[in-house]
Amino acid sequence: MEKILEGAWAVFVGIGWFFINRITAKVDALEKDKADGSAVGKHSDLIHETDRRIDELQHTTVPRQEYKADIGALHQRANELERSKEDKVTDVRILDAGGNAGNAKKGK
Protein backbone atom coordinates (compact mmCIF):
# COMPACT_ATOMS: atom_id res chain seq x y z
CA MET A 1 0.00 0.00 0.00
CA GLU A 2 2.84 2.40 0.87
CA LYS A 3 4.55 1.58 -2.40
CA ILE A 4 1.41 2.50 -4.36
CA LEU A 5 1.01 5.80 -2.47
CA GLU A 6 4.68 6.59 -2.99
CA GLY A 7 4.33 5.96 -6.74
CA ALA A 8 1.12 8.00 -6.95
CA TRP A 9 2.73 10.87 -5.07
CA ALA A 10 5.60 10.95 -7.55
CA VAL A 11 3.18 10.98 -10.48
CA PHE A 12 1.18 13.88 -9.02
CA VAL A 13 4.35 15.87 -8.32
CA GLY A 14 5.53 15.23 -11.88
CA ILE A 15 2.21 16.39 -13.37
CA GLY A 16 2.20 19.46 -11.13
CA TRP A 17 5.78 20.28 -12.12
CA PHE A 18 4.84 19.97 -15.81
CA PHE A 19 1.93 22.40 -15.50
CA ILE A 20 3.95 24.88 -13.45
CA ASN A 21 6.65 24.90 -16.13
CA ARG A 22 4.04 25.47 -18.87
CA ILE A 23 2.42 28.35 -17.00
CA THR A 24 5.81 29.90 -16.27
CA ALA A 25 6.78 29.65 -19.95
CA LYS A 26 3.52 31.34 -21.02
CA VAL A 27 3.98 34.18 -18.53
CA ASP A 28 7.57 34.65 -19.69
CA ALA A 29 6.39 34.82 -23.31
CA LEU A 30 3.79 37.46 -22.39
CA GLU A 31 6.38 39.51 -20.51
CA LYS A 32 8.78 39.29 -23.46
CA ASP A 33 6.17 40.61 -25.90
CA LYS A 34 5.10 43.50 -23.67
CA ALA A 35 6.05 46.97 -24.84
CA ASP A 36 8.10 49.11 -22.51
CA GLY A 37 7.48 52.81 -21.89
CA SER A 38 10.09 54.02 -24.36
CA ALA A 39 8.51 52.06 -27.23
CA VAL A 40 5.09 53.53 -26.47
CA GLY A 41 6.59 57.03 -26.31
CA LYS A 42 8.39 56.48 -29.60
CA HIS A 43 5.18 55.45 -31.36
CA SER A 44 3.36 58.41 -29.86
CA ASP A 45 6.02 60.72 -31.29
CA LEU A 46 5.70 59.00 -34.68
CA ILE A 47 1.92 59.48 -34.68
CA HIS A 48 2.30 63.19 -33.90
CA GLU A 49 4.94 63.48 -36.63
CA THR A 50 2.59 61.82 -39.14
CA ASP A 51 -0.23 64.13 -38.10
CA ARG A 52 2.03 67.14 -38.58
CA ARG A 53 3.07 65.96 -42.05
CA ILE A 54 -0.55 65.43 -43.10
CA ASP A 55 -1.26 69.00 -41.96
CA GLU A 56 1.61 70.25 -44.13
CA LEU A 57 0.49 68.29 -47.21
CA GLN A 58 -3.20 69.11 -46.77
CA HIS A 59 -3.98 65.95 -48.75
CA THR A 60 -7.18 64.63 -47.19
CA THR A 61 -10.80 64.27 -48.27
CA VAL A 62 -11.89 66.69 -45.55
CA PRO A 63 -9.77 69.76 -44.82
CA ARG A 64 -7.77 69.19 -41.65
CA GLN A 65 -8.87 72.47 -40.10
CA GLU A 66 -12.52 71.48 -40.56
CA TYR A 67 -11.84 68.02 -39.12
CA LYS A 68 -10.01 69.44 -36.10
CA ALA A 69 -12.78 71.99 -35.56
CA ASP A 70 -15.40 69.21 -35.64
CA ILE A 71 -13.45 67.13 -33.12
CA GLY A 72 -13.03 70.20 -30.91
CA ALA A 73 -16.76 70.91 -31.10
CA LEU A 74 -17.53 67.30 -30.14
CA HIS A 75 -15.29 67.59 -27.09
CA GLN A 76 -16.94 70.85 -26.07
CA ARG A 77 -20.42 69.34 -26.48
CA ALA A 78 -19.45 66.29 -24.41
CA ASN A 79 -18.12 68.57 -21.66
CA GLU A 80 -21.33 70.66 -21.73
CA LEU A 81 -23.49 67.53 -21.44
CA GLU A 82 -21.39 66.30 -18.54
CA ARG A 83 -21.74 69.62 -16.72
CA SER A 84 -25.49 69.84 -17.36
CA LYS A 85 -26.11 66.33 -16.03
CA GLU A 86 -23.93 67.09 -13.02
CA ASP A 87 -26.05 70.15 -12.21
CA LYS A 88 -29.32 68.18 -12.35
CA VAL A 89 -28.30 65.68 -9.68
CA THR A 90 -29.39 67.22 -6.39
CA ASP A 91 -30.28 64.31 -4.11
CA VAL A 92 -28.45 61.01 -3.73
CA ARG A 93 -29.91 58.35 -1.48
CA ILE A 94 -27.86 55.41 -0.35
CA LEU A 95 -29.79 52.43 0.97
CA ASP A 96 -28.15 49.69 2.96
CA ALA A 97 -28.46 46.06 1.91
CA GLY A 98 -31.15 45.38 4.53
CA GLY A 99 -33.51 47.85 2.84
CA ASN A 100 -33.99 50.20 5.80
CA ALA A 101 -35.43 53.09 3.82
CA GLY A 102 -36.15 55.04 7.01
CA ASN A 103 -32.45 55.29 7.81
CA ALA A 104 -31.44 56.45 4.33
CA LYS A 105 -28.47 58.79 4.15
CA LYS A 106 -28.86 61.92 2.08
CA GLY A 107 -26.07 63.82 0.45
CA LYS A 108 -25.35 66.26 -2.33
Q: What is the pLDDT of residues 3-47, one digit of tens each?
A: 777 778 888 888 999 999 999 999 988 888 776 767 777 788 888
pTM attached to this predicted model: 0.32
- Determine the 3-state secondary structure of 1 from DSSP: coil
- Determine the 3-state secondary structure of 78 from DSSP: helix
Residue type, 106: K
Say if CB 103 and CB 96 are below 8 A apart: yes
Closest C-alpha to 64, from 77, 75, 53: 53
Say if CB 92 and CB 108 are below 8 A apart: yes
Residue type, 19: F
